[in-house]
Structure 1
Amino acid sequence: MESILISGNPASRRRVIGFERELDRLEQWLAGPHAIARIFSISGIGGIGKTTLLAEMAHRASRSSALALWLDGQGELATSGTFLSSLELALESEYGRRREPGTGLLPHVVGELSRQRTVLMVDNGERLDQLEGWLLTSFLPQLESSEVLLVVASRGGLSDRWHMNPAWGGGGRIETFPLGLFTRAQVMDYLRESGLVTKVQTEVVQKTDGHPLLLSLTVDLLRSRGGELRDRSNEIPAMLSADWLREAASPALHRALTALSLLPAGDPLLLNALLDKPVTPGEFHELASMSFVRATPQGLSLHHVVSRLLRDDYSRRHPQRFQSLRHRALRLLAERFRTVDRRTQMRIASHVLELYREFLPSAHAYVDFSSALRPGEPIPYRPEDLPFLHRFLADSLARADWQSELVRAEDCHAVLDEIALHSPEGFCIVRSDTGIPLGFCAGFRLHVQSVPLLERFAPSLLPMLGEESVHLRRVPAEAADTLCILLAAVDVNQSWYGPEELGAMLMQQWLIHMTSGWRAILFTSDPQLSMLLPILGFQAKDRHRQDGSTGGQLNWWELDFRHITFEEWVQRVIQQTASGGPATVAGQEPDAGIDAIETKQILHHLSEYDKLEQLPIVRQLRVSGAAVQACVRAILTEDNPPFPLTRLEQRILWESFLCKELNKNQLAEAFHMSRTTFYRHSQQAVSHLAHVLTQSLADGGKGTG
């Protein structure tokens, strides 16, 4: 595990978070009665904690009375002479071990290292390849019978030459320790001693993605500002991005890395399709050698933290170029989706959602997409999951959280058992790093065998499906392609993830699952859920009046990947992320018509015919103020708002410009958003309305069509 040092009492030594596996292995070697010579290879991307780990190892080695020597690969690995001279200086300055006159440098160093148990640490070991021949043939063979531990920290780890060496790799004397990211529990442990208030800690947890250096820099920056989050926090991704980009020696590689950050993995063909100037085979090989790039069967893949921070930095510096490049990447991924296997398709779907995430609601009653959570490889339902799911469901029912109105509360646990028994494919479960369930949604696959269960537990469903219910009674189980979601809940008793974060991860994983050719249907009267679903591609099908005294409306929502191709769904995503509307996305000029600024002017004067008619854009269009007002009202009251306007955006515009009962802060609170998030959604809503209004007025102002 990676680590970060945390300040406690300034007078005391700082304690270490993480590194349990690596430090336990060091302690075993130090405590053994006869420690054999070994090599530890520590690897990981920049800022992951390699230097911190070596510092802690040095401390523990010294505490156990072993020699602890440190070399910095940036200046002490150029030649064998530099290497030995640096060790001689360390032995003399730290331990008083001077070389006797007439003693050669190599015999002196080997002799001193052999006298007692020694831990030799090499930081920044990327340049060790310049010496590996000499080390493996001349230096290390003289230490094979000594109690020496060589610890090398580098971004890429030791080369194959080390692992193929008969004495060391072949002899099982090399242990590798690739460092990963902080777990959520470790991040929260770190932040508990940060001095930051709980609300700020929560935001730091969500934004730093478990990357140690990003976390520590963010905390230091917030401490220096009294915990206030300001725009200058954007400096951190830029700082880290610059550090990683230093590995790229040429502008061509810089551009290639930016393009690669928009792909789950890229072979030369896919990567060059994104670049104006193709990368050469030599440059592609250079990319593959970088510490934060790994080779996969689908091509080169960036470490996801590096990928995200490179995107963040590039989008801030060159927003228009970044948006254009992202749209090209989305189209290329949609095209490739058809030709790859299912596992690769799931990776593509996951990456598309990651590129779309910044446009999804960062604050919502059920989901929070602002966190950088990643669902990981899905694990199917297992029988041992069921007690967890029942507990989550019981907590949800006790709090009256969302559950399907089709199922009575007293039947929910029985429905969960029946889904587990008859339709386990209907589960989608998000899990912790150790595989423990953290949240789930579940439903029945619709076919002849599930119809009796639906009649028993959700009797109102089949009548609402109309003629389709007759067809379902003839569909064999193996031909089922529709899933009706009935239950969903997350673990609210653990402290590592917020319920809305888990909701977002659950929704993301479930959408990825649906892309394999499923149709999902959902009935709800919950307005919050009805605002969220169209943003994720759901289509409104119908409305049905609920049974009982409430008389509420059930909205039928559907996401159908049987008849909509992945390419079409991605095109919707592209259209929703395009500031200039769908025409801009396709690489054309924006529609000649009403822009966002002009639309906002119309909204501000919507109730004033005379002022509307004096607006330059209205006079240019040669329509009356009454016609413009009627058109806008029709668009904002349409049951199914015209694309790309969403229901959420429709409501925001209605409440902001027609009702005018709440100020901006109150509106943000009413929509469960921060002021910044509400502003972003409002801007996008006005932009989308501009596109719809242009089209509608071009059709003669007869409505939304």
Structure 2
Amino acid sequence: MKEWIAEGRAPTTLLAVSGLGGIGKTALLRYWYQSVRTQGAVALWIDGRAGVRTPQGFLDHLSTAGVLAGISVGEEPSAWHAVVRVLQERRVCVFIDNFESLSAIEEWLSHVLWGNSPEENLLWVVAARTFSMRSWSALNQPGLRVVPVKLDVLDANDAYQLVDQVLPGLEPDMRRQMVDNTGGHPLALTLLLDLVREGQDTPAALTLRDPEFYHQITLQWLRELVNEALYPAIEVLALLDSANEETISAGVGYTLSPQDFAELAQLSFVQQVEDGMALHDVARTYLLRDLQRRRPGHIEMLRRRLASHLLEILRTGTGAQRLAAASRLLTVVLDALPMPQNYADLSTNVFPYAFSPYQASDLPQLQLMLEDWAKAYVLPRQRQLYQDFLTEFAERFPQDIRVIRNTANVAVAASFFCLVHRATGELLTRYFPDETRECLTPAELQREPEQASTYYAILVCVDMRNPGIPVVDLTGLLIRSGLGLLGNGTRVTLVATNPGLKQLLAALGFSITATKTRNCDVDDLRAEVCTLDLSGGRYADWIEYLLQRVESPENPLEAFMPAKATQSVEVRELRAVLSALTRPGQFQRTALTQKVPWDIEEFRVVLTRALTGRDPTVLSYMSQEHLELLRMTYLEDVNSVQACLALNLSRASYFRRLREAVQGLAYWLAIFMSAVEKS
């Protein structure tokens, strides 16, 4: 704006201002409107919601704005011609607020006004919650310079500066709470500051828990809803990070029309994302808090309906569909699960911070965070060991480091969760031999990367040197991110000494068992092995377990145990099936084909996928070497002599390992059949 005012020959320009409802679009336009008037330009103000939304109605509105600005139509045929006349002597700025209300005359505005605008001295400033593709097409006319101005929430520094200006001397912890609870949203922060300032006798912390505060904020966005029938869809989106059209319709209980989804997409607080739609982070948190306070029973009904729909996709969908459903299910559950929050809060959204990949420039900051973490959780003699580990791990496996940054792009928290395979296993065994012996099997440590299915949670660390950092919230985000890596057939394990962490993991269904030795203890803190085993396709069962915890939080905690088979598979019958796997006629005559829940060809595909390693769940019941032995013997028809030579085994070792492999496959198949029977 300043550049345009200062230019000697200012080209005709259009500033397109957009942003979330309440973000400050109107306030910014008002500020600019007053500013250009003091600098000698003519300023016209038009509210898109006022007047008749026709070309003539717009011209009448423009004429009224011109009169207020001192422009007389006089002998000119229209107000627009009067504006063009004034442009010969002075610069003119036309401000149009609530531009989305003029969608019916976009084409006329485009061709009559913008398409025929003088080349110099005219500035259009239009503000809308969002600009549709049609709107952008109307704005982008030849000879018209269009500058998009996207408004977002305040970053942490600006938000703190505003708090300090309005309430100087506020306690640091309260100051941080105000910024975190409003997410830097200008309207929310302003309302909260006003409430605190007006009630100086009331502890400011109480205002943050005031249901009316959240309701006031959500009303600012919900006023955009012209079609009240879309409100249930907003409620569904408040429960999920994102949702496609099918999931939204399943959540509301009826099928929404294409027109309904088009209207949803036009709301300022709804964003188009890769897999559907999502609410703006700030809007989602406020709407969810408001709904949980005012309509808890309704929210539980929506949550159960969504969970039922997503569980069905998890069991029957394609690979990509199952991954998306798993992520959404975790969001639905963790936002409602009653859990201890002294170590980490898994239900939080911390607005000024964002996940990003590790960068080599992060290493010095991570070393400082690790140093502080080690002082609390590691014996003094081991602290340098962790620093050495960090340096090597960051160089070799940077993809296994998740970093959270603040608005200044500085790392403030990081997690180290790695998939265990031959390469990472060697590193873990070298640096943490006691922990790996407690948590991981030799087979897991020797798997190839593409066959790995076990995660080892090494540690999470947060910047403890910055008093404004919400440690519990960021720790929760890191753990929640780690849980998001899990899926069917995976297992996660770690050694924990912190009582708060063990309590949190127990609430998530982890089994907590004593270590075999005391080598992992830290002073008087007893180390225990914490494991969540989702082998045998039990991810859906785990989600149902968590949903039961949501509905019955008073029930005593019980660990989510590894899969148990309700079906049985005779090793003798399985061996006969495997021997006939490459002979279709003989295969269909085996006894086991009559007992499994698949037809003959499907059963052959199930076994072939397992033996070729395309179903990683089988590796929870045998080693990679066992699987290779099965593949060579039953798929490639390699005889025992050739197999012994290829695998460097004695004849006795070959038959012993083959027996172990068939037994492991029989147990895996029994688990698989039980899961199919249950679903």
One fold, TM greater than 0.5? yes
* C-alpha contact (below 8 Å) 1:375/1:508 kept by paired residues: no
> Which residue is equivalent to 2:24?
49
For 1:362 and 1:29, the matched residues in 2 are separated by: 56
* 1:569 maps to 2:546: no
* 1:312 maps to 2:289: yes
* C-alpha contact (below 8 Å) 2:13/2:123 kept by paired residues: yes
> Which residue is equivalent to 1:327?
304
* 1:512 maps to 2:484: yes
> Which residue is equivalent to 2:101?
127
Give deviations 1:92-114, integer Å, cap 9, x for gaps.
434x4434357643322322244
* C-alpha contact (below 8 Å) 2:242/2:275 kept by paired residues: yes
Structure 2 counterpart SS, 1:74 = coil
* C-alpha contact (below 8 Å) 1:287/1:293 kept by paired residues: yes
Of 224, 232, 236, which aligns to 1:247? 224
Gaps of 5+ in 2: 561-679
- With over 3 angstroms needed to count, the CA separation of the structure-2 counterparts of 1:492 and 1:564, relative to structure 1, is farther
Give deviations 1:240-279, integer Å, cap 9, x for gaps.
3334333333442222322333233344432222234443
For 1:107 and 1:289, the matched residues in 2 are separated by: 33
What is the identity, as a one-letter code, of the residue corresponding to 1:188?
A: Y
- With over 3 angstroms needed to count, the CA separation of the structure-2 counterparts of 1:114 and 1:298, relative to structure 1, is farther
Of 475, 491, 495, which aligns to 2:463? 491
> Which residue is equivalent to 1:290?
267
Give deviations 1:499-556, integer Å, cap 9, x for gaps.
2222122222222234486533211222122112223443224434423895753110
* 1:530 maps to 2:502: yes
Structure 2 counterpart SS, 1:345 = helix
* C-alpha contact (below 8 Å) 1:293/1:300 kept by paired residues: yes
* 1:201 maps to 2:179: no
- With over 3 angstroms needed to count, the CA separation of the structure-2 counterparts of 1:319 and 1:147, relative to structure 1, is same
For 1:221 and 1:53, the matched residues in 2 are separated by: 23
> Which residue is equivalent to 1:211?
185
For 1:426 and 1:407, the matched residues in 2 are separated by: 26
Structure 2 counterpart SS, 1:244 = helix
> Which residue is equivalent to 2:53?
78
For 2:517 and 2:547, the matched residues in 1 are separated by: 35
For 1:215 and 1:125, the matched residues in 2 are separated by: 25
What is the identity, as a one-letter code, of the residue corresponding to 1:509?
A: S
Correspondence list, 1:25-104, <5 A: 26-76=1-51, 78-94=53-69, 96-100=70-74, 104=78
Correspondence list, 1:653-672, <5 A: none
* 1:501 maps to 2:476: no
> Which residue is equivalent to 2:327?
349
> Which residue is equivalent to 1:553?
526
What is the identity, as a one-letter code, of the residue corresponding to 2:493?
A: I
> Which residue is equivalent to 1:12?
none
Give the TM-score taking structure 2 as reference length: 0.73
Matched residues, number: 554
Deviation at 1:220, TM superposition (A): 1.2
* C-alpha contact (below 8 Å) 1:406/1:461 kept by paired residues: no
> Which residue is equivalent to 1:647?
none
For 1:274 and 1:434, the matched residues in 2 are separated by: 38
> Which residue is equivalent to 1:479?
451
* C-alpha contact (below 8 Å) 1:206/1:371 kept by paired residues: no
Query: If you compute each CA radius of gyration, which structure gives the higher value, 1 or 2?
Result: 2
Gaps of 5+ in 1: 1-25, 582-595, 600-634, 636-640, 645-705
> Which residue is equivalent to 1:303?
280
* C-alpha contact (below 8 Å) 2:489/2:535 kept by paired residues: yes
For 2:254 and 2:272, the matched residues in 1 are separated by: 22
Structure 1 counterpart SS, 2:376 = coil
- With over 3 angstroms needed to count, the CA separation of the structure-2 counterparts of 1:522 and 1:54, relative to structure 1, is same
For 1:348 and 1:552, the matched residues in 2 are separated by: 35
For 1:454 and 1:277, the matched residues in 2 are separated by: 51
Correspondence list, 1:424-503, <5 A: 424-433=398-407, 435-442=409-416, 445-465=419-439, 469-472=441-444, 474-494=446-466, 497-503=469-475
Give deviations 1:220-239, integer Å, cap 9, x for gaps.
11222225315882123323
> Which residue is equivalent to 2:394?
420
Deviation at 1:51, TM superposition (A): 0.8
* C-alpha contact (below 8 Å) 2:14/2:145 kept by paired residues: yes
> Which residue is equivalent to 1:674?
none
* C-alpha contact (below 8 Å) 2:239/2:331 kept by paired residues: no
Structure 2 counterpart SS, 1:75 = coil
Deviation at 1:307, TM superposition (A): 2.9
Give deviations 1:349-396, integer Å, cap 9, x for gaps.
2673366235455842x4245642269885333333222211221233
Deviation at 1:193, TM superposition (A): 1.9
Give the TM-score taking structure 1 as reference length: 0.70
For 2:209 and 2:458, the matched residues in 1 are separated by: 45
- With over 3 angstroms needed to count, the CA separation of the structure-2 counterparts of 1:53 and 1:369, relative to structure 1, is farther
* 1:225 maps to 2:203: no
Structure 2 counterpart SS, 1:236 = helix
- With over 3 angstroms needed to count, the CA separation of the structure-2 counterparts of 1:642 and 1:474, relative to structure 1, is closer
- With over 3 angstroms needed to count, the CA separation of the structure-2 counterparts of 1:350 and 1:287, relative to structure 1, is closer
- With over 3 angstroms needed to count, the CA separation of the structure-2 counterparts of 1:158 and 1:70, relative to structure 1, is farther
Structure 1 counterpart SS, 2:187 = helix
Structure 2 counterpart SS, 1:199 = helix
For 1:50 and 1:308, the matched residues in 2 are separated by: 21
For 1:209 and 1:550, the matched residues in 2 are separated by: 40
> Which residue is equivalent to 2:582?
none
* C-alpha contact (below 8 Å) 2:240/2:331 kept by paired residues: no
For 1:550 and 1:142, the matched residues in 2 are separated by: 79
For 1:562 and 1:424, the matched residues in 2 are separated by: 27
Give deviations 1:141-180, integer Å, cap 9, x for gaps.
4423231111111112265255256xx4454622222322
- With over 3 angstroms needed to count, the CA separation of the structure-2 counterparts of 1:80 and 1:252, relative to structure 1, is closer
> Which residue is equivalent to 2:366?
389
* C-alpha contact (below 8 Å) 1:42/1:177 kept by paired residues: yes
For 2:320 and 2:351, the matched residues in 1 are separated by: 19
Deviation at 1:489, TM superposition (A): 1.8
Structure 2 counterpart SS, 1:572 = helix
What is the identity, as a one-letter code, of the residue corresponding to 2:549?
A: Q
What is the identity, as a one-letter code, of the residue corresponding to 1:502?
A: L
